[in-house]
Amino acid sequence: MGEQSSGISLAEIAATIDAELIATSPDKLVKRLASLTSASQDDLSFVVSEKNLPQAERSEAGALICPPGLIKPAENLSLLIHSNPYKAYAEASKLFARGADNRGISDRAIISDRAEISDGVSIGAFSVVEAGARIAAGSDIASNCYIGADAEIGANCRIFSNVTLYHEVILGSDCRVNSGTVIGSDGFGFAPSDKGWEKIHQLGRVVIGDNVDIGANVSISRGALDDTIIGHGVIIDDLVLVAHNVEVGDRTAIAGQVGIAGSTKIGADCSFGGQVAITGHIEIADNVHVTGKSMVTRSILEPGQYSSGMPVAPSKDWRRNTVRLRKIEELVDRVSQLENSTKNKAKE
C-alpha cells in the first residue's frame, strides 16, 4: 500500500474497492479522501446519486467514486465506477485512515506476568493488564487503558485511550472501542429491604462478537447471572447505555444516546435512531427500525419501521396540540355517547 504522505495510486484504490477505473493516468497519486466541497485536483471524493450532481459539477476533485452512467469522463477527472458508491467510499477510507503505530509494549505499561500477550500486540503507557487476561495477535491497546482479570481481546482489535474492560469481558476479533467506554461494569441491580437497597452482585460477563465498532463513552453492563451479549458486526454510537443481560443481534446499529434497559432481547439487522428509549424484559424481532426519540415500552414481534413521540412544530401549534391531547379522553367519551345515541335512534 502506498504511504498516505506521498499518496495512493488510483489503480491501487480501484483494485482495493473493486471499481472500474476510467483515468488517463492510473498511476496518479491521490493524497487524501475529501468532501466534494473541499477536494482539490490531488484528492478523491464520491457521488452517491443525482442529488449530489450540483456539488460534483462545482467540485475541483481530481477523481470521483460514482455509480455507472452518472458522470461523464473528463480530461482532468478520473472516475472509479462502482454499483454501490457509498460502500466503495467506506472501503477506500480504510486506505487513508491512520492505523495503529505498532509501537510495541511500553515499558511504562503494567502487565501481569500471568497475562497472555500474543505477537504483534501494542500496549501504551500506563495501561494495566491484569492476571489471566489474554490479548490476541495484532491488537493495539492505547495508553491509560485497563484490561481486567481473565478478560479476552481477539485479534486485530483497536482499543483507544482510557477504555476500561472489566474482568472476564470477552471481545471478539477486529473490534474497535473508542475512548471513555466502560465494558463489564455492574448492572443496576438492587433489592429493596427494610434497611434500604441491597446490592445484587453481578456475576455474568459481557460477550462481544467480531467486527464490532463501539463509540466513545459507551457503557455496557455485565450480566446479573447470564451474560450480556453483543453480536457480530454490531455498530454502537457514542453515549449509549446497554444494561445487564441485554442481547443485541448481529449487524444491529444503535445511534447516540440510546438507552436499553435490562434483559431486553434485540434481533439482527435492527436500527435505532438517536435517543430511543427501550424498556426492559421485552423482545424485538429481526429487521426492526425505530426512529429517533421513540419510546419502546412493549415487545415488537414484526419487522418494519416504528415511531413514537411528537415531531417538532412551531411553538404555537405545539402548545395548541398539547392542550387538545389533554382533552382526548373527554373527546372519546363524547364520541362514544354520540355513537350510542345514533344507534338507539336507528333502532327506534
3-state SS, residue 321? helix
CA distance 95 to 32: 9
The cell numbers describing 94, all together, are 480504510
Q: Are 237 and 254 in contact (CB under 8 A)?
A: yes
> From residue 194, how far is each of 25, 187, 197 by CA, in Å?
79, 22, 8
Catalytic residue among 167, 201, 232, 244: 244
201 carries an active-site annotation: no
3-state SS, residue 155? coil
Q: Which helix (H) or strand (E) holds 123?
A: strand 122-123
Q: Provide the edge-to-edge strand list for the sheet that holds 295-296.
A: 110-111, 128-129, 146-147, 164-165, 182-185, 219-221, 241-242, 259-260, 277-278, 295-296
The cell numbers describing 233, all together, are 458486526
Enumerate residues 6+ apart whose C-beta is below 8 A from 168. Answer: 148, 149, 150, 151, 184, 205, 222
Backbone angles phi, psi at 85, to 5 degrees: -65, -30
Nearest to 210 by CA among 184, 161, 174: 174
Active site residues: 244
